[in-house]
Structure 1
Amino acid sequence: MTDPEAPGHRRRPGVRVGAAAAALALVAPLAACGSGDDGGTPIINLYYPPEQNLQQVVDDCNAQAGGRYTIAYRVLPRQADDQRVQLVRRLAAEDSGMDVLGLDVTWTQEFASANWIREWTGQDRAEVEQGTLAGPLDTARYENRLYGAPKNTNVQLLWYRTDLVAQPPATWDEMISAAQELKRRGQPYQVLTMGAQYEGLVVLYNTLAASAGGRIISDDGRQAVMDEGTVKALDLLKRFATSGVTSPSFSNATEDPVRLEFQSGGAAFQVNWPFVYPALQEADPALARKVRWARVPGVDAGTPSKVTIGGINLAVSAYSRHPAESFEAAKCLRDAEHQKFSAVKDGVPPTIEKVYDDPEMDEAYPMKDTILAELKEPAVRPLSPAYQSISTVMSAILSPPSAIEPQRTAAELRRAIADALESKGVLP
């Protein structure tokens, strides 16, 4: 996310020195949080990103616990890189004051490989896997073991102006052609999405690559691949960036500026997260009535897109003094009823499939069927403990998209990703 961030998908550039220093300043006061080790009621410290109504979920789970433990919501910083620095430094120090952790879906493998989080096993694992969508579950696994309980997920959608476009385009080439025709007519025409050098650009490219049938790394996460499908995606990204239908700010665009630019009325299309829907309803109801949503366009005609998912996984710290209570607390926080509550109140898409059938979702999530369709055939970002390093080098090489030379860029990405996979560091 940027400022404000799109739910379930936060901005994730490489860790900066300033963020690390800020995190160090936070460690001392936070480490003082108790864990009930004086013989009283165990305190289960939940370290989780800001979510406006999560405290109500915590209160309900505490009531259900009946005094056996008390969950304390410790709010992490808003920016994802700051969150990660705080968690990494405290876990590396084997801090026992952390119990349940809200991890970005791209961190779970890294934390598992470092032995910082516990495996979900037995009945706990069975309860998490029951009814949970396959894509989010994939992000929570490492070496075929489950290390996270998917709490919420996210996917981008295509938002388009029905007063300008009769039907949503099925492919990116169709969308580019439609935008060029609108431009010739002197009508609003731009295709807006995120192209700045940060995680948003990696998400865009990952969606294109997966939609083209490409593989960035091997299935076991150990080798850089960059096959023909990924080269095809590079060619499409270059053509899009140089087609004359992007915003002049495309190479610097992040989520919320894209939303605001679409609201200004100069664009026909926007590829962005669902957070844009309530924002548009509030900011410009007249424009909102002209806007619909559809699946993100594919690369090839007749082949549906595969859209990159985001979200949060709940993990239990390896250093928690109350692991049994922590697993129980995590299951309560992400059960079906609480996922529905968080979807309706905070706009975060559920990971449990049956929640989408609940009538309460109809008003809050009129786009729920499209979201669910994408979630059933998703793209996940490269599953590797080295993902932070992979993302950092990918965003640098892909930026600016207009400078991409498909074959050369693919070779450069292959070399850089191979180097990143060899990195044993945790703070790129």
Structure 2
Amino acid sequence: MFAALPLLASLLAGCGGDGEASGKTTLNWYNFPDDSGALQQAADKCSQASGGRYRIVYNRLPRAADGQREQLVRRLAAADSSVDIMGLDVTWAAEFAEARWIREWTGPAKRQATQGTLLVPLQTATWKHKLYAVPYNTNTQLLWYRSDLVPAPPRTWAQMQTMARALARQGKPHFVEIQGAQYEGLTVWFNSLINSAGGSILNRNATEPSLGPPGVRAAQIMRNLADSPAADPSLPNQMEDQNRLAMESGTAAFEINYPFVYPSMKANNPKLFKSFHWAPYPRTDADRPSRPTIGGIDLAVSAFSRNPGPAFEAALCLRNRENQLTAALKGGLPPTMRSLYDEPSFIKNYPFAKDVLAALQSASVRPITPAYQNVSIAVSHTLSPPASIDPKSSVATIRDQIDQALQSKGVIP
């Protein structure tokens, strides 16, 4: 892979607008803060692989997604030429592309970016049938449960609530931990449910809300859980980490969360870890497969970079097989390359790799629209707190607010 990079550099020259700088070039890569060291290791390896033509500097963005987006938006709105490569949340590509802040991937760069990459993550990097980023990592939720409380995991949300009620009657841990706070996690929950019910938040062209009966069905499931013994009393304030801590404390029987909870349980509660198992995301209906929402980061090249050719080359190197495997093993970030899910070292550290892959292959994406920030706010504000949801009227409110959000033009504040 690294041996091919000098040749690829000449092929990628046509991808950029400005000419490549001669000699050693500094490429600034802005991405989420990584405590594992995997991102810095990737930057160092790719700098070395360039043969001295460029050096990648890894710049840490704020830890919260909103802070990351705010910093990038400010820099790009000012046409900051010091930004070369960016790690975008999977909901940002359409907005940034519409604002003409990121470059389209074409030619050899596009072919290499898409070859062997999982199809659903590629959807998050595409806008108006054009590729504007390359999937760097991905993520999806599973159902985590205690096998000492339930010998076999539930297949549907209704089954899970029935099991929770039975455990409550026996005075045993019975909560279902899920993200119920008024933030992006609540939108993800609704999006996973509506897609699992056969619908979507927006229509295929992202021009108007879809919702319909699947939206009402999704809202009803959320309300049913929030208004049952399965609901943690802290549900209206809970995010992923609060869910993790509640499960580790032993008060819950089920948890809908990302794979980071597995090593955390192993480290923090070894005794409970022995009965900490996983299963596919619950179905809305027994005869319909679940479609959990994916997360992740896509790498994009700034429209204002003075060195687009090297930036495209570097982005491909940063997300190559070796660096994705390192990020998966060190940082627990599921890869976007299909072949890595057959890699023995990955499977050893990710015993649920098969289930994550299955989920990714049938997963859903959040609405792809430049107005996504406003769409998400309309969903999360209307459905908070979950116990106050009125399925039909709440979905009608979401529809009205999305209609207004889709009238927004340009950058979302």
Please tell me the TM-score bracket, short chain as reference.
Answer: over 0.9
- TM normalised by structure 2 equals 0.93
Deviation at 1:37, TM superposition (A): 9.4
Q: Do 2:370 and 2:410's aligned partners in 1 also have CA atoms closer than 8 Å? A: no
Q: Which amino acid aligns with 2:33?
A: P
Q: Percent identity?
A: 49
2:255 equivalent to 1:270? yes
Q: Which amino acid aligns with 1:245?
A: A
Deviations 1:242-263 (A, max 9, x none): 0121100001101111100111
C-alpha distance in 2 between matches for 1:59 and 1:216: 41
Deviation at 1:215, TM superposition (A): 1.7
Deviations 1:180-239 (A, max 9, x none): 011111111111111000001001111111100112111111111211111111111111
- TM normalised by structure 1 equals 0.90
Q: Which residue of 2 aligns with 1:44?
A: 27
C-alpha distance in 2 between matches for 1:215 and 1:60: 41
Q: Which residue of 1 aligns with 2:325?
A: 340
Q: Which amino acid aligns with 1:297?
A: P
Deviations 1:286-312 (A, max 9, x none): 100111001110000032210000000
2:301 equivalent to 1:316? yes
C-alpha distance in 2 between matches for 1:38 and 1:408: 58
Structure 2: any 5+ residue segments left out of the alignment? 1-18
Q: Which residue of 1 aligns with 2:130?
A: 145
C-alpha distance in 2 between matches for 1:297 and 1:93: 45
2:368 equivalent to 1:383? yes
2:404 equivalent to 1:412? no
2:139 equivalent to 1:160? no
Q: Which of 86, 98, 102 in structure 2 is aligned with 1:113?
A: 98
The number of aligned residues is 394
Deviation at 1:393, TM superposition (A): 1.6
Q: Which amino acid aligns with 2:119?
A: A
Q: Do 2:87 and 2:300's aligned partners in 1 also have CA atoms closer than 8 Å? A: yes
Deviations 1:4-59 (A, max 9, x none): xxxxxxxxxxxxxxxxxxxxxxxxxxxxxxxx999641111101111232111111
Q: Which amino acid aligns with 2:29?
A: L
Q: Which residue of 1 aligns with 2:4?
A: none
Q: Which residue of 1 aligns with 2:12?
A: none
Q: Which of 346, 349, 361 in structure 1 is aligned with 2:346?
A: 361
Q: Which residue of 1 aligns with 2:58?
A: 73
C-alpha distance in 1 between matches for 2:81 and 2:247: 46
Q: Which of 170, 173, 183 in structure 2 is aligned with 1:185?
A: 170
Q: Which residue of 2 aligns with 1:300?
A: 285
C-alpha distance in 1 between matches for 2:343 and 2:269: 28
Q: Which amino acid aligns with 1:49?
A: F
Q: Do 2:194 and 2:211's aligned partners in 1 also have CA atoms closer than 8 Å? A: no
Q: Which residue of 2 aligns with 1:289?
A: 274
C-alpha distance in 2 between matches for 1:245 and 1:45: 47
Q: Which residue of 2 aligns with 1:33?
A: none
Q: Which of 120, 124, 127 in structure 2 is aligned with 1:135?
A: 120
Q: Which moved more, 1:220-229 or 1:90-99?
A: 220-229
C-alpha distance in 1 between matches for 2:47 and 2:308: 16
Q: Matched residue of 2:406: which SS?
A: helix
C-alpha distance in 1 between matches for 2:45 and 2:274: 37
2:209 equivalent to 1:245? no
Deviation at 1:427, TM superposition (A): 3.8
Q: Which amino acid aligns with 2:148?
A: D
Deviation at 1:105, TM superposition (A): 0.3
C-alpha distance in 1 between matches for 2:25 and 2:386: 51
Q: Which amino acid aligns with 1:393?
A: A
Deviations 1:44-98 (A, max 9, x none): 1101111232111111111110011111111111111111111001101111000
C-alpha distance in 2 between matches for 1:245 and 1:232: 18
Distance 1:37 1:339, change over 3 A: closer
Distance 1:127 1:38, change over 3 A: closer
2:44 equivalent to 1:59? yes
Q: Which residue of 1 aligns with 2:382?
A: 397
C-alpha distance in 2 between matches for 1:281 and 1:388: 35
Q: Which residue of 2 aligns with 1:222?
A: 207
Q: Matched residue of 2:311: which SS?
A: helix
Distance 1:135 1:94, change over 3 A: same
Q: Which amino acid aligns with 2:223?
A: K
Q: Which residue of 1 aligns with 2:16?
A: none
C-alpha distance in 2 between matches for 1:334 and 1:39: 25
Q: Do 2:144 and 2:278's aligned partners in 1 also have CA atoms closer than 8 Å? A: yes
Q: Matched residue of 1:151: which SS?
A: strand
Q: Which amino acid aligns with 2:168?
A: K
Deviation at 1:139, TM superposition (A): 0.3
Structure 1: any 5+ residue segments left out of the alignment? 1-35
Deviation at 1:363, TM superposition (A): 2.2
Q: Which of 53, 57, 79 in structure 2 is aligned with 1:94?
A: 79
C-alpha distance in 1 between matches for 2:151 and 2:196: 24
Q: Which amino acid aligns with 1:77?
A: P
Q: Matched residue of 2:180: which SS?
A: coil
Q: Which residue of 2 aligns with 1:258?
A: 243
2:199 equivalent to 1:206? no
**Runs of 4+, deviation exceeding 3 Å:** 36-40
Q: Which of 173, 190, 197 in structure 1 is aligned with 2:158?
A: 173
C-alpha distance in 2 between matches for 1:407 and 1:198: 21
Deviation at 1:419, TM superposition (A): 0.6
Q: CA RMSD in A?
A: 1.4
C-alpha distance in 2 between matches for 1:223 and 1:212: 19
